[in-house]
Structure 1
Amino acid sequence: MDQFSLSGKVIVVTGGTGILGGAFVDAIVEAGGTVGILGRQAQVAEERAAAITAKGGEAIALVADVMNQEQLEQAKEKVLAAFGKIDGLVNAAGGNMPDGVLQPDEDVFSMNMDGMRKVMDLNLWGTLLPTQVFGKAISQTGKGSIVNISSMNSKRAITKVLGYNMGKAAVDCYTQWFAVELGKRYGDKIRMNALAPGFFLTEQNRNLLTKPEGGYTERGELVIRQTPFKRFGSPDELKGALVWLLSDASQFVTGAMICVDGGFSIFGGV
């Protein structure tokens, strides 16, 4: 059997209606897995699930907010009713908000604390809560893999987005702590790792990094200068690392953070 195959595995993807989440959903299906597409956008989730089913794959739309435990519990029951088990979870929900951004001309001692906290909560608790809910089902299946989404923002001080930086740094801490606890309780049966994307163009950052008429913004130029590959990533370039972390091919890997970043995290800028 192909170690990298996800055949027979049922995997839930939070943030499954987003751009990177969409790539994760496609990766799981392409590797033979069954996927639960979880997000707040019901129409997008339904359309993606229908498109997969039409091509012979197995998918289910799950409408839930990752900050709402009751909705997550209902989504879990829907997956279990349809497929009988859950083998994996990808915590792709997260992101930034305008209230969590500090512009260069704003007073650093008068920043929007509520906005920063809200962004941090989304990225941290929006990872912990789904893990509590879907991880419980994975423990009942007996074996599985959980993949969190880290970021370059947890590795370097990225200006403007303090709440996001803190949220992703906390996710890194959580990934390592929880991986150890899983190992102590379940041995090698349940693993937790993190995927750390570099800079990929999404709906949330497109206007920050690129100009409508083409070319890069000043911030986009700074990112490219810091990236040895001198380009942004394509969502499809995350697929291989994700499938590896979800599959039996990585069965001795836990608590790891895999950077898919064109070298951004290791480049000193000189």
Structure 2
Amino acid sequence: MIPIHENLTGRVAVITGGSGVLCSKMAEELARHGVKAAIINRTAEKGQQVVDQIRQSGGTAISIAADVLDRASLVNAREEIIETFGGIDLLINGAGGNHPDAITASEIHGEEEEGKSFFDLDENGFSQVFSSNFTGTFLASQIFGKELLKAEAPAILNISSMSSYSPMTKVPAYSAAKASINNFTMWMAVHFAEAGLRVNAIAPGFFLTKQNRDLLLNKDGSLTARSNKIITATPMKRFGQPEDLLGTLLWLADESYSGFVTGITVPVDGGFMAYSGV
């Protein structure tokens, strides 16, 4: 178990998409270190499940319904968080995901496979994926950023992807959006450096989540052909576990460990980026 970061005790973290497989574990771990967690999802019920888990473990958390693409709902969420906890120290931009209308059926053009080709992709689905991943990160950073600047050691942590470096086949919108996250992380890091707000990102390797489960597992739970490619290209020969992200999360959140670190995206990928395939 990771030693407690006492420096984080009493701080307030806002986690968008906080009920997701990865972000819920991040929220639970932060709460274990004494951080007060505000879980934001489009529906409060999903977030409440995470809150209940945190409270059962002795932590402090609230669930708030807000849409990262709806400025007014984010403003309302911010005001509720300030009223409840008094301020905000950390923002984790975890909201995102994919959409069937932005996924091609085949990995390369010309493969015969039932479903959408590149030319069949709907621009609305494409825009939705880009917006939920990138524009949502921008809006949340904007709405919560003013309050973050009032904190003693504020930080933003964005969630990127391996696909930001080397775009995965089938998911062009998701890949483009995550590449934008890396660039935006660097832009914000420079923009807010002198104000004391550090901005970094984590790029998880291949983790099983609600969004990618259908692409990576067959109905019987066995690995798909796509999964076998991933495992072959991952030197550690496994998918990541949510717990694999927690050390990097705490390092980047705690300025006593990473006070001179800003503008980076950290791969947590089992060696995927390092492997050339030969």
TM class by smaller structure: over 0.9
1:63 matched to which residue of 2?
65
Residue of structure 2 in register with 1:269 after alignment: 277
Bigger mean CA deviation after superposition, 9-18 or 99-108: 99-108
* More divergent stretch after superposition (257-266 vs 43-52): 43-52
User: How far, CA to CA, are the matches of 1:267 and 1:80 in structure 2?
Assistant: 45
Maintained 8 Å contact 2:156/2:200 = yes
Residues 97-135 of structure 1 deviation map (CA, whole Å, 9 limit, x = unaligned) = 111101114443443222222211111101010000111
What residue number does 2:259 align with?
251
Amino acid at match of 1:266: A
Q: If the length of structure 2 is used for normalisation, what is the TM-score? A: 0.91
> How much has 1:214 moved relative to structure 2?
2.9
Gaps in structure 1 of 5+ consecutive residues: none
CA distance in 2, matches of 1:15, 1:29: 16
Distance, in Å, in 1 between the alignment partners of 2:186 and 2:175 is 17
Say which SS state the counterpart of residue 133 (structure 2) adopts.
helix
Does the CA-based 8 Å contact 1:5-1:32 persist in structure 2?
no
Q: How does 1:12-91 map to 2 (within 5 A)?
A: 12-91=14-93
After TM superposition, the structure 1 = structure 2 runs for residues 196-207 of structure 1, keeping only pairs within 5 Å, are 196-207=203-214
Deviations 1:123-149 (A, max 9, x none): 110101000011111112243010000
Q: Per-residue deviation at 1:255?
A: 0.3
Quote the offset at 1:57 in angstroms.
1.2
Q: Output aligned runs, 1:189-200, within 5 Å.
A: 189-200=196-207
TM-score w.r.t. the length of structure 1 is 0.94
Q: Which has the higher contact order (CA 8 A, sep 6+)?
A: 1
1:260 is matched by which residue type in structure 2? V
Secondary structure, in 3 states, of the residue corresponding to 1:165? helix
Does residue 172 of structure 1 match 2:182?
yes
**Structure-1 separation of matches of 2:36 and 2:144:** 15
Q: State which drifts further: 69-78 or 46-55.
A: 46-55
Q: Determine the structure 2 residue equivalent to 1:229.
A: 236
Letter in 1 for 2:31: V
Structure 2: distance between partners of 1:239 and 1:154: 21
Distance (Å, rounded) in 1 between the aligned partners of 2:24 and 2:100: 23
Instruction: Give the C-alpha shift of residue 44 in structure 1.
Output: 2.1
Matching residue's letter, 2:265: M
Q: CA deviation at 1:4?
A: 6.6
Length, aligned pairs only: 266
Conserved? CA contact 1:4–1:243, under 8 Å: no
Cα distance in 2 for residues equivalent to 1:225 and 1:113: 33
Q: Does 1:117 align with 2:127?
A: yes
Output the CA distance in 1 between the equivalents of 2:136 and 2:221: 34
Q: How far 1:53 moved relative to its partner? A: 2.4
Quick one: which amino acid aligns to residue 78 of structure 2?
K
1:142·1:190 contact (CA, 8 Å) conserved in 2? no
Decide whether the 8 Å contact of 1:146 with 1:192 is kept in 2. yes
| Deviation larger for 64-73 or 42-51 | 42-51
Structure 1 residue 3 displacement after superposition: 5.8
CA contact (8 A) 1:87 1:145 kept: yes
SS in 2 for 1:141: coil
Aligned residue type for 1:261: D
Question: Aligned partners of 1:130, 1:4: CA distance in 2, in Å?
Answer: 27
Give the equivalent residue in structure 1 for 2:218: 211
What amino acid is the match of 2:269? D
User: Structure 1 pair 55/204, CA: closer, same or farther in 2 (3 Å)?
Assistant: same
Structure 1 CA distance, aligned partners of 2:43 and 2:225? 32
Report if the CA contact (8 A) 2:5-2:33 is conserved: no
- CA drift at 1:12: 0.4
Kindly, what percent of the aligned residue pairs are identical? 40
Tell me if structure 2 keeps the 8 A contact 1:195–1:258. Answer: yes
Q: Identify if the C-alpha distance between structure 1 residues 241 and 33 changes in structure 2 by more than 3 Å, giving closer, same or farther.
A: same
Whole-Å separation in 1 of the counterparts to 2:43 and 2:232? 35
Alpha-carbon distance between aligned partners in 2 of 1:112 and 1:206, rounded to the nearest angstrom: 22
